[in-house]
Structure 1
Amino acid sequence: MGNAQSPSTDTQFVSASRAFSQKELEDLKTLFVSLAAQSQSNAQYISPSVFKAYFGIHGALGDRMFNVITRSRNDGKLTFEDLVIAKGTYEKGTKDEIDEFIYQLLDVTGDGIFGRSDIEAVLIVMLDDILCSEPESNPHQDIVSIFLNTANFSESHEGCAESSMSFEDFRQWCALLPSVRKYLGSLLSPSDPGRPCSQVPHILHGQSIESNLLLLKKEYAWHIGGVLSQRELDEWKLLYHSAFNGQSFNTFLGSISSNDGPTVLIIKDKEGYVYGGYASQPWEKHADFYGDMKSSLFQLYPRASIFRPTGANNNLQWCAVNFSSASISNGIGFGGQVNHFGLFLSANFDQGHTFPSPTYGNPHLSRTSQFYPEVIECWGVLPKGAQQGSQKTNKGTVLERFKEDRHMLNMVGLANSSE
């Protein structure tokens, strides 16, 4: 492997090599030789253009990744030692080491100031790649802005007017934008559709609704999908839209009754805020909270955030209709507690509320706690291979689908009267 590197660099290489098996090192060497041959470097190094083409990292982000891997030598030569050290840190390091590596990628100008313009440049490259846009066409400015609105820039630098994103700011930003974190954490995987967080669900909405009338954009679906498995990112089908199906709870339940899997509920209120929740369990009538830890709340506009269950309680999902008890709120919701939900939409579908909740660790999702919906959408998540299973589950009776009703009938001995 040669001894051209300085002793300190050799020490880094030896240390990084220990993170790999012999087979993994041999595979890395094979990859290096192949890319070096394409670089016409007499098998000595990988050129910037070949590196960026193979890993599919373009624009300012590709330039910065090459610079970070080559440890800012600015000689245009990526050596085998560079590759092993970078992948040893980026893929095999501790969480702190990996986060620090990714954090350095955001400083595209290399001046030590992680400013808003740096983050914007990274986001533009990212969205161009994921959504297959033409470079430099910049069709995602609105989406870039909502991701930037989530970020904090708390550090100041003497003589510099632009504030900087600190390492702690970066970690908080990634916690709210898991799709961004997944993407930035997978850049040294081969560029293909299977790369983590490169998949965008295929949005199925039928021919009767124009796509520009939908709340769910591809960019939003990618953002929401940051907490989901690849299996759940195959197809999302529109089940309910208030402008076309009518703003009614009963119509809503009827429209989604054929779906026995997860759903994505999206609300746009009359102040223009867009937010919602991922319901991992079907919407079924209950007299109490239910659901599991796969659910989440999210914001889509004017800022983008995901809020996953904290484990503080199990008040994850709520669906109640036609209950006369004052202690049971008729409507659908997520988190918090009765009358003080993380997100709640009343059974009349004409108002709702959102409060900070310990269930999801979310703030107000709307501008104020009370909101009035303008548009409501619900999308069915169709995991790969789930279509046949859903056909089987739909064969159950109404009493089987509405478990709370069945439980009440069991108490009076009538549960089997429909069978």
Structure 2
Amino acid sequence: MGNSRSQSGPRFCSQFLPEEQAEIDGLFDALSSEKQRPDTSPRSFSLKALKSHLGEALPPEMVTRLYDGMRSLDLPGKAKGPSESVSREQFTMFLSHLLKGSSEEKSLVIMKMISATEGPVKAREVQKFTEDLVGSVVHVLNYRQELRGWTQKRGPGPPPGVQVLAAQLFSEMELRGNEELPGPQQLDRDCDRAVIEDWVFRAPHVATFLSVVVHRGFLLPRLSLDLAPLVPERHVDQERVFESILDVPSVIYVNAHLPREQRHRWHLLFSSELHGHSFAQLCGRITHQGPCVLLLEDRDGHVFGGFASCSWEVKPQFQGDDRCFLFSTSPRMAVYTSTGYNDHYMYLNHGQQTIPNGLAQRNRSILAVDPEAQALLEIIGRPRHSQGLQDAPEDE
């Protein structure tokens, strides 16, 4: 059960500091003081009490997962298997493993949250857990009004970005054996404790999201959680309400790949919706402003862009370094880092008649090889000034 080194004698040893443990004990006392079923021990709490305490802070399915994870933890010297209610020791062990534990201890908790039965879980169960987890993070941040200037798009059902980010996280899992099985059948494969532990190590957002769910769901001020590296503050120099084409899951995903010093605050430099479709206006607003994120949406709803690691300059030379990367957030989330093939990271130029304008790479403009870049110019109604001025490819 978990990491044996976290146990001392017959009892579980909490990893919380004294002041943190006092807060955990106070939370348990509040939960166990809720009106219980007649057969519930006064030193424990029921699912009904947990739901009553959390209210609408978390989705019902996540509250049930938390409760099942708590009551399914086996305690030293106690009968194995899920208990009828959650004891103080189970509650402390669950939070200690989840918030302070190793990958091994976190994987134990995750397995219990996915299924109360012993043994491996199915890949499709992990997939559903991941969707519930990402959805719960967006839900609780919105409920606690901690989206830091970002707006959650309205609409029935979970935001599309929830499923896309969940799919990206789930793709980090290495399913072992039977690699020849077709895609749908892969979801029927077993995931044991070792697979989940490896997944937690490969996809650190899994543990981070679980911490957000617990911290912001239960409101634990003594157990500090800095949301700035997760969701950057959004600053717009406009009184007009402006909705970004990025939803909250997409912001979290892109922000996680930026250098740490750029993760705390995003400042809007240019938007075609606010500033028009002038390429000269774009150049004027983004140059000499430091590192920035370029974001585009095409007519098919595909959202993609790139990170510029240094200030843009209008000049006929390549700029930037290997910290630059390209990304997509819809219909799938992915990041494309430098291959090291050359140093052609950033290029910005316009108003020239004999030198390529816009975005380019050696020998061929990116417009010649990337239909999405061509679509961008068509969308904003700009002519391709560099067309006909590019060097012919070597094979021609």
Normalising by structure 1, we get a TM-score of 0.58
In 1, Cα distance between equivalents of 2:322 and 2:333: 23
**Which residue of 1 is the match for residue 271 of structure 2?**
240
Change (3 A) 1:140 1:315: farther
Q: Structure 1 residues 297 and 195 mapped into 2: Cα distance closer, same or farther (>3 Å)?
A: farther
- Equivalent residue for 2:99, pick from 73, 91, 95: 91
Give the secondary structure class of the aligned counterpart of 2:100: coil
Equivalent residue for 1:34, pick from 24, 30, 35: 30
Query: Structure 2 vs 1, CA of residues 119 and 92 (structure 1 numbering), >3 Å: closer, same or farther?
Result: closer
Contact 1:267/1:374 (CA < 8 Å) preserved in 2?
A: no
Alpha-carbon distance between aligned partners in 2 of 1:285 and 1:276, rounded to the nearest angstrom: 19
Structure 2 counterparts to residues 170-249 of structure 1, below 5 A: 182-191=208-217, 195=225, 199=231, 201-202=233-234, 204=236, 206=238, 211=243, 215-227=245-257, 232-233=263-264, 236-237=267-268, 239-241=270-272, 245-246=276-277, 248=279
The structure that is strand-richer by fraction is: 1
Report the Cα offset of residue 38 of structure 1.
3.8
Secondary structure of 1:276 counterpart: strand
Q: Deviations over 1:370-392 (max 9, x none)?
A: 5334448xxxxxxxxxxxxxxxx
**Alpha-carbon distance in structure 2 between the residues aligned to 1:112 and 1:20:** 30
What CA distance in whole angstroms lies between the structure 1 residues aligned with 2:211 and 2:63? 14
Alignment of structure 1 residues 8-19 onto 2, 5 Å: 16-17=12-13, 19=15
Q: Describe the SS at the equivalent of 2:89.
A: helix
Which residue pairs with 2:122 in the alignment? 113
Higher mean C-alpha deviation, range 65-74 or range 96-105 = 96-105
1:402 corresponds in structure 2 to none
* Distance across 2 between alignment mates of 1:373 and 1:85: 55
> Structure 1 residues 39, 199: CA separation in 2 closer, same or farther (over 3 Å shift)?
farther
Quote the residue 2:45 is aligned against.
46
Alpha-carbon distance change, 65 to 316 in structure 1, aligned in 2, over 3 angstroms: farther
Are positions 1:71 and 2:72 aligned together? yes
Q: Distance in 1 between matches of 2:9 and 2:49?
A: 22
* 1:142 matches 2:173: no
In the alignment, is residue 254 of structure 1 matched against residue 254 of structure 2?
Answer: no
Return the match for 1:304 from 328, 333, 339: 333
User: How many residues in Structure 1 have an aligned counterpart in Structure 2?
Assistant: 330
Rounded Cα–Cα distance in structure 2 between residues aligned with 1:140 and 1:156: 33
CA separation in 1, counterparts of 2:336 and 2:197?
A: 16
CA contact (8 A) 2:348 2:357 kept: yes
Displacement of 1:165:
7.9
Counterparts of 2:141 and 2:284 in 1: how far apart (Å)? 35
What is the identity, as a one-letter code, of the residue corresponding to 1:112? V
Long gaps (5+) in structure 1: 1-7, 354-368, 377-419
Q: Report if the CA contact (8 A) 1:46-1:78 is conserved.
A: yes
**What residue is the counterpart of 1:278 in the other structure?**
307
Q: Give, in whole Å, the separation in 2 of the partners of 1:304 and 1:329.
A: 31
Q: How far has the Cα of 1:34 moved from its partner?
A: 3.4
The aligned residue for residue 318 of structure 1 is 346
Asked whether 1:371 is paired with 2:396, we answer no
CA distance in 2, matches of 1:109, 1:203: 47
Number of the residue aligned with 1:361: none
Q: Distance in 1 between matches of 2:58 and 2:333?
A: 24
Q: Structure 1, residues 248-306: CA drift from partner, whole Å, max 9, x if none? A: 3x43221224x72442211234654321123353323574543585x654321111235
Give me the whole-angstrom Cα distance separating, in 1, the residues matched to 2:199 and 2:210: 15
* Deviation per residue, 1:347-397 (Å, 9 max, x gap): xxxx275xxxxxxxxxxxxxxx65334448xxxxxxxxxxxxxxxxxxxxx
Question: Unmatched 5+ residue regions in structure 2?
Answer: 74-80, 144-150, 378-396
Q: For 1:169 and 1:339, how far apart are their aligned partners in 2?
A: 44
Residue identity opposite 1:60 in structure 2: E
1:44 counterpart letter in structure 2: R
Equivalents in 1 of 2:94, 2:342: separation in Å?
A: 41
Describe the shift of the 1:69–1:278 C-alpha distance in structure 2 as closer, same or farther (beyond 3 A).
farther
Q: Which residue of 2 aligns with 1:383?
A: none
Q: 1:146 touches 1:304 (CA, 8 Å); kept in 2? A: yes
The residue identity in structure 1 corresponding to 2:29 is V
| Corresponding residue for residue 416 of structure 1 | none
Q: Secondary structure at the match of 1:84?
A: helix
Alignment CA distance shift 1:18-1:289 (3 Å): same
Match of 1:127 in 2: 138
Give me the identity figure in percent: 15
Residue identity opposite 2:188 in structure 1? S
